[in-house]
Each structure stands twice: as structure tokens, then as C-alpha cells.
Amino acid sequence: MAIIMTEDQKAMVELAKQFAEGDIAPYSQEMDETGHMRPEIVAKMAELGFMGINIPEEYGGAGLDEVTKILVIEEIAKVDASVAELLSVHTLVSDIIMKRGNEEQKKKYLSLASSGKVGAFALTEPGAGSDAAAAKTKAIADGDDYVIDGTKCFISNMGQEEGDYVVLIALTEPEKKTKGMSAIIVDRGTPGFTVGKTENKMGLRAAPVSELIFENCRVPRSNLLGQEGKGFMIAMAALDGGRIGMGAQAVGIAEAAIEAAVKYSGERIQFGKPINANQGIQWYLADMATTTEAAKLLVWNAANLRQNGFNINKEASMAKYYASENAVAVCNRALQIHGGYGYMKDYAIERMYRDARIVPLYEGTSEVQKMVISRAVING
């Protein structure tokens, strides 16, 4: 399918482009080196309406659709995938609260999200990665509270300073396993909730990823999202939306890599002519452009279907799987076109290459996506 953008979508994409080039690009290298995102970038995203892009206007958001959201994420990822990552996860959390929260929760947390407070989603544990059902963090009812104990790892949007609240998946009835998992909102600063080690990552270095530790952490039972025992279902549904966001991020990285390769190959003179005069380079670029266009269409299709209320379990996995693997392959080829210069930090392709490598791993590895896709194909 093709997405013919509306005038409003075109305006948002142009706004995202101007923001990325004017407010992010000058600091991308610095943020990559320091592993820290400038807080004014998040504040600017809130000011422009991006932090509340998928939140209804009544809660302070922009009230825009799924396709517009992924178009903005894609545009930002062209300049800095770390910023796109933060926005993608943040909007995933807002989506969970919109769909599962009660009115009081929506008024509080969606308003916070729109204003620039950053949301996180905590499912993964040291012993529960692809096998999310193996999670052991408990939230046991005690009067009007849940008492939470356990550890989550590799949690995006939580750093030593970053992150304001988290949607936590924990066992409220451990004996029931996945049917005993629930989703609970936990605010930063709640006694017993601490941010542990912040990871020193290969790529997406400015996007915080940390360990979360819960020790006798008391949270009001009113922070339960939806019903008890529905947490695993909530998490799996949320991942469908998250995978579309990751796919958009991958498309943006790949598009930026192609632009960098085209520019460099037109400027690099060898044997008396630009290297893009060689058929080998031309064919590299043709393949990179074609597969990236295919990835973009898969992502757009999944977003459009989700926007219209369809079950997109298979389509989201296809989009995330293909777009993420393509981003790695395209960045690899773009770096090859740059030759030895591409290996140096003077050129942005080096950062793109590192940023791309995580996308086939998080929100479900490529192998998990193929499990989901094959199950859908077999079962019809």
C-alpha cells in the first residue's frame, strides 16, 4: 500500500524535520559521546506536541492518528535514533494508559505525558527476555496497596535522571503465572523503587536504558491498569504497537544511511571520477533504496491497519522484523561505501551503524518475530 499524506500529516512531518535538523542534529554527536540526552530536547518535543501526539486533546495531547505518529518517529530517526527511541516508547506507554486506564488515571498520566513527563514500560527481567512469561517480579495485595518486589532490566526511558513513571508488569497472583500478571503504574520516587545500573550501550547511547529495582515498594491498588490478571495480555497487545514504532525507527535510520551514502559517493573521487559512477556502487544504492521502500510500506501498512482497529499481530511483526534487519543491512552497505572513513567517528554513518544494530533485538528479537509470523501463517 502507499500512504498519501494529508495536509496535516505533511505539516507534522515538516515540523518534525525542522525540529530534528535544528534542535537535535547540533547535539547528536555530543549526546552519543556522553550517553545523555539533553532535557531541553524532550521539553521541545512536548512544546511541539510530539510527546502527546497520540493523546486526545481533552488530556492535553495533539489527538493525532497512528500513521502520523510513525511518520514523525521516522523523520526524527533520520537525524537521531536515540530521540526517536525515547518518543516511540513514551507513546507506547501513553497508548496503554489510553486503552486500559480509568478516567482518573488518564487525566493524571496522559496530561503528564503531554507536558513532557516521560513514561516507561517494564516487562523484561534478567531471566525473562524473549520468554516474557518467565517474569518473577511480584506485586502482592496488602490492604489498599500492592507490595512490589523484583528486578526489571533493559528498561528504556529510565535513567539516573530520566523517566517519571513506569507501567510495570508484575505477578499479582504468582501461582497463576501469565494469568496472574497485572499492569500497575509506579511513579518515580515511590519508596522502595530505585533505578539501578544504567547500561553503557553500543548504540542509541543517548536513550536511557536501566535496571529497575523494587524492594517492599508500596503502590496504591488504584494504580492497577485494567483488571487483575490481564497484564500479560496488555503487554502483548502493547508490543504490537511498539513494534510498529520500532519499525518506523528502523526505516528512518535506513533512509538516513542511504542519504549519507549518496552524498559521500558523489563527493568521493577515485580514479578520476566519483565512486557512484561505478556500477557496483549504483547497484548497492538501488538495492538499499528498494528494500527500504519495502520496509516503509510494511510499517505504514501495519500502522494504517492498527489505526482502523484491525488485529495487527502478524503485520506488526512483519514490519518490525523486515525493517530492523533491513536497517542493519543498509547501514552495513552504506558504511562499506564510505570505506575506511565510514569507520571513523567523523562521519555519522558510524553512529547509524551502531544505532541500527539494536533494533532486531528489542521489542522482540527477529527470531521471536518469525515465531509470531509463522504461527499466524500456519493457523490462518
Catalytic residues: 363
Q: Are 219 and 170 in contact (CB under 8 A)?
A: no
Q: Can you read off the three cell numbers belonging to residue 249?
A: 525507527
Q: Quick count: other Cβ atoms within 10 Å of Cβ 201? A: 18
- The set of long-range contacts for 128-135, using a CB threshold of 8 Å and a minimum separation of 24, is 129/154, 130/364, 130/365, 130/367, 130/368, 132/169, 132/232, 132/235, 133/177, 133/178, 133/232, 135/169, 135/170, 135/171, 135/181
Q: Are 221 and 142 in contact (CB under 8 A)?
A: no
β-bridge mates for residue 212, sequence order: 152, 195
Instruction: From 250, 184, 166, select the one nearest 223 (Cα to Cα).
Output: 184
Q: CA 275 to CA 253: how far, in whole Å?
A: 23
Task: Label residue 37 left, alpha or beta by phi (over 0 means left) and psi (-120 to 50 means alpha).
Answer: beta
* Neighbouring residues of 121: CB distance < 8 A, sequence distance ≥ 6: 89, 92, 93, 96, 155, 156, 157, 166, 167, 238, 242
Q: CA 55 to CA 69: how far, in whole Å?
A: 11
Phi, psi torsion values for 74, nearest 5 degrees: -60, -45
Q: CA 267 to CA 25: how far, in whole Å?
A: 22
Q: Can you read off the three cell numbers belonging to residue 85?
A: 527511541
* Bridge-based pairing state of the strands 138-142 and 181-187: unpaired
Q: Are 133 and 232 in contact (CB under 8 A)?
A: yes
Q: Would you report the helix, strand and coil content of the chain in percent, each value rounded to 5?
A: 60, 15, 25
Instruction: From 371, 237, 249, 214, select the one nearest 306 (Cα to Cα).
Output: 237
